[in-house]
Amino acid sequence: MTGVSTQRQNISSGSPMEKPIGFSRAVRVGNTIAVAGTAPIAADGSTACPGDVYGQTKYCLEIIHKAIEASGGKLQDVIRTRIMLTDITRWQDAARAHGELFSDIRPACTFVEVSRFIKEDWLVEIEADCLVADAKA
């Protein structure tokens, strides 16, 4: 792999859960950015938009967007998203928020139902993968 940088860049969102769990919000190696499962955790540690799948999805996507930009990427670099919901019957609320951000980009996207998350009032968690076309790692 001549010419491809493998320097690792860890990106923090400032979540109080990162250090004790031992994870980064995002990791960039070369032209690849992986964004960890992102829950609707407000700055004060509470759950953003309680009871609102659409609002929680938008909030998670805002955190993801910031992490991608902090990694030197942009939304257009997103090639896959994974949306996990505790109630799959509410997928359209999450899909509406996802579509508002990604309708022109159209990454591969998967919706799955999970039994629960770390906190009971989290309704959604999202992961994203990026491939930066003009990598300057």
Pairing mode of beta strands 32-38, 124-131:
antiparallel
Contact 22, 39 (CB under 8 A): no
Over residues 77-106, mean pLDDT: 98
pLDDT at 5: 59
pTM: 0.90
Over residues 103-117, mean pLDDT: 98
DSSP type of residue 76: G
DSSP type of residue 118: S
pLDDT digits (tens, 9 = 90+) for 52-79: 999 999 999 999 999 999 999 999 999 9
Residue 64: alpha-carbon gap to chain centroid: 4
pLDDT at 14: 81
- On the CB side of 110, CA atoms within 13 Å amount to 10
- Name the pLDDT band for 6 (thresholds 50, 70, 90): confident
pLDDT digits (tens, 9 = 90+) for 27-36: 999 999 999 9
